[in-house]
Structure formats: C-alpha cells, structure tokens
C-alpha cells in the first residue's frame, strides 16, 4: 500500500486554515497515487490547544472541520487526521484525543489515545479520557495498529521517579498485536529538545524490531508559543532500520510503499543523516555522538562538562530560529527590537532574529552608560553593520543621573549598590518598551538560562520582553552558538566572543565577580534543574559542596523572578516555564 506522510505546520485554533492545509496535502497525496495519507496528533486544531478544549464551541468547530475535510476528499484516498472527540459516556472526562479515519466522504472510525502524559509540559489528563478498548484499523486489505504519540512511549524509563523503572503499566501496541497488524502508525505532536531525536529513533526502532513490523510516525512541525516541534517524521522498516526521515524544522511530505518496509533487511535507504534527512546535508552527515538528550559526556577532572557538538548546536540554532519566526508570523507581528549591549547574549539573539525575520524587520538600540567600554559600543555597531540592521544610540548617563537625583532624598548617604545597577537596567528596559509601543516592534529578551537560573537579571529591566530567545540555552551553549553563527564569516565580532562577560553596571564589573565559571555553573545547574539531583549527589560528582549549596540557593531564591519572565523558547527537556512548576513560597 502506498502511504503518504504529511508533516505540516499548524496554527493553534486556526481550524479553517488548518483544514485548508490538510486538504492541500490530501490532494498532493492523491495526485501521487497514495492510498492513505497521515497527519499528526490534533492536527485539526494544532497542538497544544490547552484550555480551548474546555470550550464546547471550540471542540464542535474542530469536529465540523474534520467532517468538512471528509466531504472534500476523493473516494479513493483514506485520511488519518488527529482531533478531539466528545466522550459519549456518562462518566469520565468530556473528550478523547483521537485519530479520525476518513474515507468515501465521511468518518469511518476513530481510534483514541490511551496514554495521556502529565509530565513536563504535558497535561493531557486535564482534558482527555484515556482509551481502554483496543481495536485495529482495516483498510485495503491491511490491518493497521493506529496509535497516538505517547502510546508508543509506554516503556520509556520513568526519570526522577525514585524506584519505579517504567512510567506506564498499560501497553497499547501489545494490546493491538492480538489482531495481527501489518504495520504501525503513530501520529504525534512531540516537541523538540536537543538530542531528543536520537531517543525517538531508538524508541520507534525498538518497537519495529520487537514486533517485526514497520512503524510510520508523523510528527507536527513548527512552533506554538514556547514549544518548538522539529518534525523529523519517520518510516522505520520491520528490521528496525530507518528507511526514511523527513526534514527538520520545515514542512515535508513523502510517499512510501509499505511493502518495501516489511521485508527483512530493508536497510537504511537514505542513511542515518544528522538528525534529519531533510536537513542532514546542510548540518553535516554522520550519526551524532550525543550521549544523552542534554548533550553530556563523561566526567572530566571531576566535572561534568557540557558538550557542544556542531550538529547539536546547529539543531538548537535552527530550532530557535523557527521558534522566533513562528511566534511572529502566527501572532501577526512583523518587527522586533532588542538592546544590543556588546555582549554575547544580545549578539546571538540578534543573529538568530535576523535569520528568522530578516534584517529589514529589526531595529535595535545601543544604550551605553558611563560604565560601558568603548569597544562594547564599537563592537555593537560593527555587528549591526555586518547584518545590515538599523540602530540608534541612546546614552543613558543623563537619565541615570536624574534617577539618582530624584531618589537621593530617599536613599540618603547610603553607598551605591545593586539598587543603582538595577536602575540602569530598568532605564534600558523602559527605552526599549517605549520603542516597542511607538513603532510596534516586539522586544526580544536576551537573557540566557544560566543567568535566569540564578537570578542574575533585573525584573522590568533586562528580563523584560515579549519572547525569550535564549532562556533555555546555557551560557556555554550561547558561546557555541556564536561560533556556529560565525562558521562561514564573521557575523558576531570576535571581540564579543573573546572578552570576559560583564553586565557593565559598575566599574570593571565581570560576571565572574558574582558567579562561578560558566562551565562549572552550567554543569551544576543541569544536574539540579535538568536531572533534579539533590545537593549531596551533585557534590559527589566532584564539585565543591559549598559552591553547590550556593548555586542551589540562588536558583531557589530566584523562583519569583522566573514567574514574571516572557515565554521561553524550549530546546531542552526541562525548560523554565510551564514544564517546571516550583512553589515561590516554601522552605524545602
């Protein structure tokens, strides 16, 4: 049977637009002679629709859209599309997360999701009732085990759950095997995390090998608010080899013959390109040597160092660019601004923004103070010229002096300290928001994950913005991104990369005055935030116990700040935001 994989970029809630997109790909599949075309999880409404699912009119519109799609497809082509379904039972949640099978102008069958994740950014049991009755989809003489995303992740390790070795007790594909299916279909909305693609391949390859069945997985692509979906849809042969992988970070489409996937020794038709056959040539061929999803390798000299492989960093770069692009295009915004300080974070943010939006849609501000070095200004100007981005210079010294004068009766003779440093940052934030309000440019936040973690930022100052581009990128990886951006030519002036990082809010200030070296800090942060290790276990990795205690205290004390950050583009499996829920007030 000829099957089409349709990897599409949906807009959450745009049922009319999503339906049109789906019908375009159905027509493309029919023209190519496909018997069946597969779309991703909740495709009709885009993923994640969140509390829109609590509105009956929204769900009704989704279902009407699915029926309209069915009425407009050719009689010969079967369609599998994800969408919500009302639960007609008197008990349980009001909805199912379903795969709808369309043929001959109407809905023929629905298959419901069994495993509803409630970890990290997922909260599906808030809305959906889990499926408990298993069946098979029969079409053109083929028996299809139709599953939805998490249904094939049933045997994943249960991380940070103490003694439990597996997360789920129910195994949907095992239940379906009694029907003797010919191949497996998985429709997914699985978000991007650096290094995660290899884990996904392993999961689907393991399922194919265990049951000696081909597995076809169609994933959503595109970004919706902070979540980035990389696509990378897969066709896995019955022997577990990767037969086909669709592009990363862009829409893609492929027609496959399932007979070619069933025979033993099908082999890897296209080779295991670097996490995505669609972009493998651009990113560099060859299997990644990433050892886990966060890019960690073996301990060196008592420290866990952060890996910065070219392929991993390239994927982060492309993922962030997609995140910025879709945030703007799907929200109806066109132009952006940021404060270009002469530091590495604002430089990398600007480069990614230009990649996403084009240099004509950026206008930045340089806002030097009496503490800014001459090269910070000249480096910023050079970078703006390199990218042909328009900019203005607004010195803040006089404004700062006015604030000092106004506050002198309150501050009295107290020595200047962090209060005056924060005032400078808030002046810059005010100027940037003024530009945003007057010209309609959305402010991009430039804070990185390392500084956000330990509270090294100013509320309503450098933490302001409509979207945080680097808020899930550790400082070590920010430097790796800078080097990747400069791989062909100097976009970011080398002096920005080479000089010691500094907020430049007081004379001769350096980040190292307040923070440990970033390679050490980032390693501790990843173990505490990403792995959720306790203090004692982190210290046993070779870190100074007092330093570990200090870093953890800084993280815990800064929780209130992170509750007020803009949406943070997610490129790891434990980002700040909706996937990490820690009380502000507490003593643990």
The structure tokens 């703007």 sit at: 328
Domains of the chain by residue range = 2-279, 333-562
Model confidence pTM above 0.95: no
Strand partners, 236: 215, 242
Catalytic residues: 41, 113, 149
Contact 462, 298 (CB under 8 A): no
- Helix H, strand E, coil C: the string for 486-502 is CCCCCCCCHHHHHCCCC
Torsion of CA 220, 221, 225, 228, to 10 degrees: 100
CATH annotation of 333-562: 3.40.50.620
Write out the chain's pLDDT in tens, 588 residues.
999 999 999 999 999 999 999 999 999 999 999 999 999 999 999 999 999 999 999 999 999 999 999 999 987 899 999 999 999 999 999 999 999 999 999 999 999 999 999 888 899 999 999 999 999 999 999 999 999 999 999 876 555 544 455 678 889 999 999 999 999 999 999 999 998 889 899 999 999 999 999 999 999 999 999 999 999 999 999 999 999 999 999 999 999 999 999 865 444 444 433 333 333 222 222 222 223 333 323 222 233 333 344 599 999 999 999 999 999 999 999 999 999 999 999 999 999 999 999 999 999 999 998 887 778 899 999 999 999 999 999 999 999 999 999 999 999 999 999 999 999 999 999 999 999 999 999 999 999 999 999 999 999 999 999 999 999 999 999 999 999 999 999 999 999 999 987 766 667 767 777 789 999 999 999 999 999 999 999 999 999 999 999 999 999 999 999 999 999 999 999 999 988 888 888 877
The structure tokens 């009302």 sit at: 86
Give the helix, strand, coil percentages of the chain, each rounded to 5. Answer: 40, 20, 45
The matching CATH number, chosen from 3.30.70.20, 2.40.50.180, 3.40.50.720, 3.60.110.10, for 2-279 is 3.60.110.10
Residues contacting residue 75 through CB under 8 Å, at least 6 positions apart? 103, 104, 105
């Amino acid at each position: 049977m000829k099957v089409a994989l349709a990897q599409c970029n949906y807009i959450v809630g745009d049922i009319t637009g999503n339906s049109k997109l789906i019908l375009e790909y159905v027509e493309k599949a029919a023209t190519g002679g496909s018997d069946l075309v597969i779309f991703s999880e909740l495709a009709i409404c885009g993923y994640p629709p969140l509390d829109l699912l609590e509105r009956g009119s929204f769900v009704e519109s989704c279902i009407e859209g699915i029926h309209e799609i069915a009425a407009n497809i050719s009689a010969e082509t079967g369609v599998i599309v994800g969408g919500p379904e009302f639960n007609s039972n008197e008990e349980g949640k009001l909805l199912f997360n379903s795969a709808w099978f369309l043929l001959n102008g109407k809905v023929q069958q629905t298959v419901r999701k069994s495993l509803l994740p409630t970890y990290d950014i997922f909260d599906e049991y808030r809305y959906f009732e889990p499926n408990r009755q298993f069946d098979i989809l029969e079409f053109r003489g083929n028996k299809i085990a139709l599953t939805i995303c998490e249904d094939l992740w049933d045997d994943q390790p249960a991380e940070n759950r103490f003694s439990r070795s597996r997360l789920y007790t129910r195994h949907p594909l095992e239940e379906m095997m009694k029907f003797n299916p010919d191949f497996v279909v998985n429709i997914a909305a699985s978000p991007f995390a650096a290094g995660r693609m290899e884990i996904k391949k392993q999961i689907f390859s393991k399922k194919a090998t265990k049951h000696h069945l081909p597995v076809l997985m169609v994933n959503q692509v595109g970004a919706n608010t902070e979540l980035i979906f990389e696509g990378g849809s897969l066709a896995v042969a019955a022997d577990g080899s990767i037969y086909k992988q669709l592009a990363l970070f862009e829409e893609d489409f492929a027609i496959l013959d399932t007979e070619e996937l069933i025979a033993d020794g099908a082999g890897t038709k296209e080779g295991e390109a670097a996490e995505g056959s669609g972009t493998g040539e651009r990113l560099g061929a060859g299997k990644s040597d990433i050892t886990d999803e966060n890019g960690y390798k073996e301990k060196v000299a008592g420290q866990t160092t952060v890996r910065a492989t070219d392929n991993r960093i390239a994927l982060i770069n492309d993922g962030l660019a997609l995140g910025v692009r879709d945030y703007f295009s799907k929200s109806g915004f066109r132009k952006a601004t940021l404060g270009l300080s002469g530091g590495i974070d604002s430089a990398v943010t600007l480069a990614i923004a230009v990649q996403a939006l084009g240099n004509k849609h950026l206008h930045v501000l340089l806002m030097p103070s009496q503490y800014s070095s001459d090269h910070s200004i000249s480096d910023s100007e050079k970078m703006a010229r390199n990218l042909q981005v328009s900019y203005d210079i607004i010195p803040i010294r006089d404004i700062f002096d006015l604030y000092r004068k106004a506050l002198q009766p309150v501050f009295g003779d107290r020595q200047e300290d962090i209060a005056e440093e924060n005032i400078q940052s808030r002046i810059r934030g005010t100027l940037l928001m003024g530009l945003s309000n007057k010209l309609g440019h959305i402010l991009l936040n430039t804070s990185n994950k390392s500084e956000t973690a330990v509270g090294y930022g100013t509320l309503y100052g450098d933490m302001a913005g409509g979207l945080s581009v680097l808020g899930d990128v550790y400082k070590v990886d920010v430097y790796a991104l800078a080097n990747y951006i400069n791989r062909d030519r100097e976009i970011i002036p080398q002096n920005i990369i080479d000089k010691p990082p500094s907020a430049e809010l007081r004379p001769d200030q350096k980040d190292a005055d307040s923070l440990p070296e970033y390679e050490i800090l980032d390693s501790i942060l990843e173990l505490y935030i990403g792995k959720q290790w306790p203090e004692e276990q982190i210290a046993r990795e070779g870190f100074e116990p007092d330093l570990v205690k200090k870093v953890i205290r800084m993280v815990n004390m800064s929780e209130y700040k992170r509750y007020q950050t803009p949406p943070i583009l997610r490129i790891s499996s434990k980002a700040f935001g909706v996937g990490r829920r820690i009380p502000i007030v507490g003593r643990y």
